[in-house]
Structure 1
Amino acid sequence: MAKVLITGIAGGFGKPTALALLERGHTVAGSVRRCEGRNADTVAELEAAGARIVAMDVTDAASTEAGVAQAIAALGGLDVLFNNAGIGAYGIQELMSPEDMGHVFDVNVTGVQRVMRAALPLMRAQARGTVLYTSSLIGRIATPFYGTYSASKWALEAIVECYRTELSGFGIESCIIEPGAMPTAFFDGMVTPNDPDREAGYGDFAQAPAMSATGLAQMLDATPAQRPERVAEAVLALLDMPFGLKPFRTVVDHTGVGPEIIRYNDVLHDVTRTVLTSFGIERMLDLNT
């Protein structure tokens, strides 16, 4: 059984994944930004199920270092790190302030970097580990009104491509999980623009994001298989696979978009291997199928 740290454990993917792992007999610790307030009930439920919860803000280096150290101590080690903490953003791209855009990147990209810097010394020293990352289908393509969020997930995918190769020689395997849109509280916490003067310049089109969001909600209501539990199932399936033979990317989607993203990923995987082979470093890809 594995010792697993999940960042953003109280979120839409974190909670069902933690509960599924605990039910399988894994030892789980997880981070939340605050244990009180809106997270209090979820934290209590997770703790009752056996999870160890630490308060950790991934936008703060000292908090992240302390939180990861506390989680490792509670687990008695670390086998699997699931970089799951994240924040969404939605709205017409021009209206998004640079400050709001920077905040999204601080959580979704630099936040992951802070967690990795805190956890990797132990994983490298033990010469074995598994790191999972929550990305998105729109970390592969971009759709209207999700520009900032997509950009942050594209950036995440890029740094994970590098972590994959740079850590393989230390026995650390990397896996990206790419869910489609899911009906979770994630949508309630979206960063949205607040620039009424610029918005006025878009005229009637300024109503398009709200109309699109309504359509998405209706689609999710009509697609019962598209639920966050599918992500938990994907994590369990990955951890059941032999070490070093896990896929680098796993698409989790029941809306019909997934097969196209898989096709895109397959082409990129071939291109990546061809490029690295031309430089004589294709062995850096050996820890994934």
Structure 2
Amino acid sequence: MAKIFITGIAGGFGLPTARALMEQGHQVAGSVRSRTGRKADIVAALEADGAQIIEMDVTDAASTEAGVADAIAALGGLDVLFNNAGIGAYGIQELMSPEDMTRVFDVNVTGVQRIMRAALPHFRAQGRGTILYTSSLIGRIATPFYGTYSASKWALEAMVECYRTELSDFGIESCIIEPGAMPTAFFDGMVTPQDPMRETEYGDFAVVPALSAQALAQMLEATPDQRPERIAEAVAALLAVPFGQKPFRTVVDHTGVGPEIERYNTALHDVTYTVLSNFGIADMLRLNA
């Protein structure tokens, strides 16, 4: 059984994943920004189930260093890191302030980098590890009103592409999980633009984001298979695959978009393999099927 650290354990994907992994006998630790906030009841329930809860802010380097160290100490080691903490953003792109964008990137991109810098010395020292990342289908394509969020996930995907190759010689495998839209509390915490004067310049179009969000909610309500539990199942399935044979990207979607993203991922894999082969470094892709 593995020793697993999940960032954002009390969130929409983290919670069902933690429960599923603990049911399988894995040791699980997870991060929350605060034990006493609005998720205090969830934190208490996770601890009652056997999870080790670590207070950690992914936007603070000292907090992440201490948090990862605390997780390793609580678990007595670390085999798997699941970079799951994230924040969403929704709205007309022009209306997003630079501060809005910075906030999203600070969690979804730089936050992951802080965690990696804290955890990688441990993984390199033991010569083995598995790192999972929560991305998104719109980390592969861009759709209206998700520009800031998509940009952060595109950036994450690029960063992980590099980690995948640069960590392979150290026995550290990398796996990206790409969910479609899911009905989670993630939508409640979205960063949304606050620029009413500029918004008026969009006229009637300014109401389209709200209408689009309403249509998405209705579609998700009508698609019962599109639930966060599918992410938990995907993570458990990945961890059951022998080391070095896991797919680099796993699409989790029941809305009909998934097959198109998988087609894109296959094409990108072929391009990546060819380019790295031309440079004589295709062996750096060896830790993924």
TM-score for both structures, normalised by structure 1:
1.00
Percent of paired sites with the same residue: 82
Secondary structure of 2:82 counterpart? strand
Secondary structure of 2:177 counterpart? strand
Partners of 1:267 and 1:53 in 2: CA distance: 40
Partners of 1:45 and 1:140 in 2: CA distance: 35
Map of 2:158 onto structure 1:
158
Map of 1:264 onto structure 2:
264
Map of 2:28 onto structure 1:
28
Partners of 1:263 and 1:221 in 2: CA distance: 26
Partners of 1:105 and 1:111 in 2: CA distance: 8
Root-mean-square deviation (Å): 0.3
Letter in 2 for 1:113: Q
Secondary structure of 1:37 counterpart? coil
Map of 1:9 onto structure 2:
9
Task: Say yes or no: does 1:128 pair with 2:115.
Answer: no
Cα offsets for 1:60-113 (capped at 9, x unmatched):
000000011001000000000000000000000000000010010000000000
Partners of 1:204 and 1:232 in 2: CA distance: 40
Secondary structure of 2:81 counterpart? strand
Partners of 2:262 and 2:125 in 1: CA distance: 34
Map of 1:237 onto structure 2:
237
Deviation at 1:189, TM superposition (A): 0.1
Partners of 1:36 and 1:115 in 2: CA distance: 23
Partners of 1:288 and 1:116 in 2: CA distance: 19
Listed as ranges, the gaps of 5+ residues in structure 2 are none
Map of 2:58 onto structure 1:
58
Listed as ranges, the gaps of 5+ residues in structure 1 are none
Partners of 2:41 and 2:27 in 1: CA distance: 21
Deviation at 1:163, TM superposition (A): 0.2
Map of 2:180 onto structure 1:
180
Deviation at 1:39, TM superposition (A): 1.3
Secondary structure of 2:28 counterpart? strand
Partners of 1:33 and 1:209 in 2: CA distance: 30
Partners of 1:54 and 1:112 in 2: CA distance: 16
> 1:193-208 to 2 correspondence within 5 Å?
193-208=193-208
Map of 1:41 onto structure 2:
41
